[in-house]
Amino acid sequence: MNAKRDRGMCRRGTVGGRWGLQRLSAGGFSVLVLTTLLVVLTQPDLTQPALAQTPDRANEAGLRPMTFPDWEEARSQTDLFLVSLEEGLTSTRRLTFTMSKDEGTPLWSPESDYFLFTSNRDAPANSPNQRQLYLMRPDGGEARRVTEASAGISNYSFSPDGKWLVYRSGRSADQQLYLIPSAALEGSILSGPGHEPIEPRQLTDRPGGVTRWEWAPGSERIYFVGPDSVDTAERLRREKGFTVEIENMETPLESLWALELESGEAIRRFSPDSRLIAFSAPDDLTRYSMSNRRIYLRPVAARGEPFQKLGSSFDGDLSIGFWSEDSRKIYFNAGIRVTRQLMELDLGTDEVRQLTSERAALAVSRDEDSDVILISYSDPKTPPTLFTTPTLTDIGDRGSWRQLIDPNPQVRGFALGEEEEVTWRGRDGKEISGVLVKPVGYQPGKRYPLIVAGVDHLIEEGIVDPDQMGVLGWSAGGHWSNWILVSTDRFKAISSGAGTSNWISMYAQSDVQRNRQYYLGDELPYYDFEPYWRQSPLRYIANARTPTMIHVVEGDPRVPSPQSIELHMALKKLGVPTELFLYPGQSHGIPDPRNRYLKAVSEKAWMDYYVRGIGEKFSWRDVLESLETEAAKEESSRISIR
């Protein structure tokens, strides 16, 4: 690992989440989060908390991608690491070292003697993110390129019986399925490093391509979803250079198909015995709704028959995580108050049972090839990490868990506040739960500054100082922050991220409409603007008094930046202290690590200044100092001394 990478790994971490700000020094803020999304983001950052395991139970090993944000270059880079499921952390070994390229989506071969992964290490200059498929042995050596797809690889999978490898490739809206015999991959190992890419067999050639696909458990067929029709004129005009974007075009319906591999002619979850098909959807299928999701089940052979709805008695969403081996139960992860737990749905009795009771957010999955149980875990003092346990029956026994990764060991050296669940009643009488993160060195009986919600309850408990409160949030948290801005002046500062100010203009600007319509009376705004305007912070903006910092990505498709620009201009003209940080990108979240760090530093300074009455509102020096090399810091120190 070179010096440049070491510096990138040792940069300061940032602390935050959709809701919450944690000070790492005594006497700081209390934090109340409405979900357990308080995450410590340090270096390196694990972006894909999942393992690919060998099916050889005597020598299980896992592959994981690890992402290293580089603060100096404002980019991130991913390599692959190997870990023994028996030995855990001490066995970790790095396998790839492409400092400017990325590796990901690893998958073991059926016999565990090699693994595949995707990488952009050979991507052309005009398509730097294009990925091909590569093969590598776990004992080291050079990776060998398997594919030479002109449009790169999007995803791939071995058949359950291990005989075939299928991948999807092609231009956008025209991706097809291709097949390679596993024996050809094994032959590439024996032939040595000079082996040419393997020529695949094309399985599909459908107009519009394949959007989703999945193997049947018996490997005899592939189920896939694709559009029923294609607008050929639309495709042709793009090929001829007419690049104008036509918004809100009608999209075709899609159908589920079965591809029989024996004949070569021409969704979601099938049971292990191939008898049942299931999907997750809202409770009410007669119209659009955002009601709790249920499981719909039907025998595969009962084509045309109605699906059975299961899980209606559960107060929450059901999904399909994985099946029991006997196809009698479905396991899924669900939110329980402020935590996330593993649940079990019995298909025979239609009963839901909670299997874990951790004070944390966890997601349990089972690797389909090896049946290894994986547990993705985080809590306010533990950044996202990964465990395994021998069997599902051991999941409730924390002593049986074995930790597999430790991407952020430095967090154990941080001074973090204690956390506890708090519950109170809202104005409508409904019970609300949150996580209270107390400041380091918390003293019972002393009132502290607070960031976010549930304030009346905590003031009554003698925990929060009512004269030192602030609000911050992103996305939905930004919506709430903007509503608080025009509803009360009891908070001393606000930091609003990607929040709406005008629900009428938001309806047309955003990439989603139907869910907003559902929340705002379930009618189109064009018949009656009043329900949308009544919920818009801009309608009441003359009430605003609280200093407000605003953050948004310029090309955010979900909550477009004009919402933030409109709010900022109104506050400016009304004389309310405000700052607008407009980040480059086309995503709903801030895409690059350097600007994510900037947001955290600026928010902390804003809260310190207006809530606690200390420091400056924001100083670029605080950010720039973190990017200096150690040598530059020493030089700066010598200059200041002279």
Query: What is residue 452's predicted lDDT score, i.e. its pLDDT?
Result: 65
Tell me, yes or no, whether 222 lies in a domain.
Answer: yes
24 vs 63 pLDDT, higher one: 63
Residue 10 has pLDDT above 90, yes or no: no
**Average pLDDT of the chain to the nearest whole number:** 82
Tell me, yes or no, whether 254 lies in a domain.
Answer: yes
Query: What is residue 45's predicted lDDT score, i.e. its pLDDT?
Result: 34
Tell me, yes or no, whether 74 lies in a domain.
Answer: no
Tell me, yes or no, whether 68 lies in a domain.
Answer: no
Query: What is residue 157's predicted lDDT score, i.e. its pLDDT?
Result: 93
Rounded to an integer, the average pLDDT of 199-215 is 91
- Two structure tokens written together for 32: 């109340």
Tell me, yes or no, whether 377 lies in a domain.
Answer: no
Query: What is residue 233's predicted lDDT score, i.e. its pLDDT?
Result: 85
CB contact set of 456 (below 8 Å; sequence gap of 6+): 424
Give residue 617's pLDDT band: very low, low, confident or very high (50, 70, 90): confident
- In this predicted structure, which of 134-143, 276-285, 310-319, 474-483 has the lowest mean pLDDT? 134-143
Tell me, yes or no, whether 616 lies in a domain.
Answer: no
36 vs 256 pLDDT, higher one: 256
Query: What is residue 90's predicted lDDT score, i.e. its pLDDT?
Result: 82
Residue 192 structural domain: 140-232+250-267
Per-residue model confidence as pLDDT tens digits over 526-573? 999 999 999 999 999 999 999 999 999 999 999 999 999 999 999 999
Residue located via tokens 């309850």: 457
b/e map 1-28, b = 16+ CB within 10 Å: eeeeeebbbebebbbbbbbbbbbbeeeb
Q: Would you say 613 and 596 are in contact if contact means Cβ atoms under 8 Å apart?
A: no
Per-residue model confidence as pLDDT tens digits over 440-461? 888 988 888 766 656 888 888 8
Give how many domains the chain has, as a whole number: 1
61 vs 550 pLDDT, higher one: 550
Residue 583 has pLDDT above 70, yes or no: yes
484 vs 642 pLDDT, higher one: 484
* SS3 category, 622: helix
Which class for 573: exposed (0-12), middle (13-18), buried (19 or more C-beta within 10 A)?
exposed
Rounded to an integer, the average pLDDT of 17-28 is 28
Give residue 108's pLDDT band: very low, low, confident or very high (50, 70, 90): confident
Residue 57 has pLDDT above 70, yes or no: no
Q: What is the DSSP string of 483-538?
A: HHHHH-S--SEEEEES--S-HHHHHHHSS--HHHHHHTTSS-TTT--HHHHHT-GG
Per-residue model confidence as pLDDT tens digits over 385-403? 999 999 999 898 999 999 9
Tell me, yes or no, whether 199 lies in a domain.
Answer: yes
CB contact set of 428 (below 8 Å; sequence gap of 6+): none
**Percent of the chain predicted with pLDDT > 90:** 44
Query: What is residue 152's predicted lDDT score, i.e. its pLDDT?
Result: 93
DSSP 265: B
Give residue 269's pLDDT band: very low, low, confident or very high (50, 70, 90): low
Q: Would you say 451 and 592 are in contact if contact means Cβ atoms under 8 Å apart?
A: no
Residue 320 has pLDDT above 90, yes or no: yes
DSSP 262: T
Query: What is residue 52's predicted lDDT score, i.e. its pLDDT?
Result: 40
CB contact set of 221 (below 8 Å; sequence gap of 6+): 258, 259, 260, 261
631 vs 570 pLDDT, higher one: 570
**CATH number of residue 156's parent domain:** 2.120.10.30
Tell me, yes or no, whether 161 lies in a domain.
Answer: yes
Give residue 138's pLDDT band: very low, low, confident or very high (50, 70, 90): confident
